[in-house]
Amino acid sequence: MTKIYTMTGDNGTTALVGGTRVNKDDVRVEAYGTIDELNAYMGLLAHNTKIEKVDHQLIVKIQNKLFNIGAYLANPRVDAQLTGLSAADVALLEQRIDFMQAELPPMTGFLLPGGSRLSALCDICRTVARRAERRVVTLSHSAKVDPTVLQYLNRLSDFFFTFARYNNVTNQVEELLWEG
């Protein structure tokens, strides 16, 4: 078994796909690192007992898509191709959002994060997804980024917002309104 530690990053650098070494705070590393952080929070979300089977399956599917995105972002080659993510994946998120939205009452104001533990985890995932999107936008200023990545991350934050509300409403947990 190989050791988990290599000591090659002790000087503050890391290797991208292909072996190019960059600083650990490089914009590309920030982008795929935030994707990785989101995936870790989703692992916690996936193990909530109140999630319906269809949503658990979707969360695992999203986690796999995030791995695909992370691998793509870790590749500095100009000709790197995004694999394992397509417009159909964006459409799948939209379909689930539309289904959940149809089950929800209209919003009457801004909502505070939380309500239940499950919804609070959704809110954490939503905010990390938004930060991941910002990091990928920053990367796109200096490197080619397939637009499907940004579309997917944008829908993903919408999914988590709707999923938080859906779980509160279906579990009869009161949504907390901002009192302004």
Tens-place pLDDT, residues 24-72: 889 999 999 999 999 999 999 998 877 888 999 999 999 999 999 999 9
Pairing of strands 21-23, 13-15: antiparallel
Note the pLDDT of residue 143: 96
Q: Please state, in angstroms and rounded to a whole number, the distance separating the CA atoms of residues 135 and 146.
A: 14
Q: Is the pLDDT of residue 1 over 80?
A: no
* Tens-digit pLDDT profile for residues 98-131: 999 999 999 888 998 888 999 999 999 999 999 9
Residue 140's pLDDT is 97
User: So what's the pLDDT on residue 112?
Assistant: 84
- The answer to whether the beta carbons of residues 20 and 76 sit under 8 Å apart is yes
Residue 22 confidence (pLDDT): 85
How many Å apart are CA 24 and CA 168, to the nearest integer?
Answer: 38
State whether residue 24 is helix, strand or coil. Answer: coil
- Mean pLDDT for 63-91 is 96
Average pLDDT of the segment spanning 131-146? 97
The per-residue pLDDT of the chain, averaged, comes to 93
Mean pLDDT of 165-174: 91
Domains of the chain are 23-102+112-170 (1.20.1200.10)
> Can you state the angle between helices 117-140 and 147-170, rounded to 10 degrees?
170
Kindly tell me the burial class for residue 103, based on how many C-beta atoms sit within 10 Å of its own C-beta (0-12, 13-18, 19 or more).
Answer: exposed
